[in-house]
Chains A and B, each alone.
Chain A
Amino acid sequence: MISVNKLNVAYGQSAIIHDISLQAEEKEIVAVMGKNGMGKTTLMKSLIGLLRPVSGSIELDGVDVTAWESYQRVAQGIAYVPQGRQIFSQLTVEENILTGLDPKSPQKIQLFEEVYAMFNVLYDMRKRKGGNLSGGQQQQLAIARALVSEPKVLLLDEPTEGIQPSIIKDIARLLNEIKETKNLAIIVTEQVLSFTVDIADRMFVIESGRFQHEDVRGSINEEKIKAFLSV
Chain B
Amino acid sequence: MGITNIFSGYTGEELLSIFTMQGFSSLSLFSVFLLMALGLAIIFGQMKIINMAHGEFLTAGAYTTVIMSDMVVKYMPGLLPYYFIFAIIAAFIVAFALGYIVELSLVRFLYKRPLDTLLATWGVSMILQQGFRLVFGGREDSANLPDWLMGSWYPTETIAIPLNGLFLLGTSVVVTLLVYFLLFRSRWGLCVRATVLNREMSNAVGINSKRIDRLTFAFGCGIAGVAGAVFTTIGSVSPAAGSLYIVDTFIVVVFGGAGSLLGTIFSAFGIAQLQSIMEFFLTGVLAKVFVLLSVVGILMIRPQGLRSNKVRE
Contact = CB atoms under 8 A, between A and B. Distances in A.
Interface residues of A, number: 26
B113 interface: no
Nearest to B206: A74
Name the residue in B200, B201, B207 with the highest tally of chain A Cβ atoms < 10 Å from its Cβ. B201
A3 B206 CA distance: 21
Interface in B194-227: 194, 197-198, 200-209
Contacts of A146: 205
A156 B228 CA distance: 50
B203 A82 contact: no
Name the residue in B191, B198, B204, B205 with the highest tally of chain A Cβ atoms < 10 Å from its Cβ. B205
A98 B193 CA distance: 12
A44 to B, nearest CB: 10
A88 B194 contact: yes
B187 interface: yes
A102 interface: yes
B300 to A, nearest CB: 29
A89 B205 contact: no
Contacts of A86: 198, 201
A22 interface: no
A187 to B, nearest CB: 14
B312 A95 contact: no
Contacts of B200: 50
Contact of B206 (A89, A91, A149): A149
A99 B203 contact: no
Interface residues of B, number: 20
Contacts of B209: 71
B206 A98 contact: no
Contacts of B191: 99
Contact of B313 (A70, A75, A89, A145): A89
Contacts of B206: 70-71, 74-75, 99-100, 102, 149
Contacts of A48: 204
Given A91-B197, A98-B190, A102-B206, 10 more contacts: A49-B203, A49-B204, A50-B203, A71-B207, A71-B208, A88-B194, A89-B313, A99-B202, A103-B187, A146-B205
26 contacts: A49-B204, A50-B200, A69-B203, A69-B208, A70-B204, A71-B203, A71-B206, A71-B207, A71-B209, A74-B204, A74-B206, A80-B204, A86-B198, A86-B201, A88-B194, A88-B201, A90-B312, A91-B190, A91-B194, A99-B194, A99-B202, A99-B207, A102-B206, A131-B312, A146-B205, A149-B205
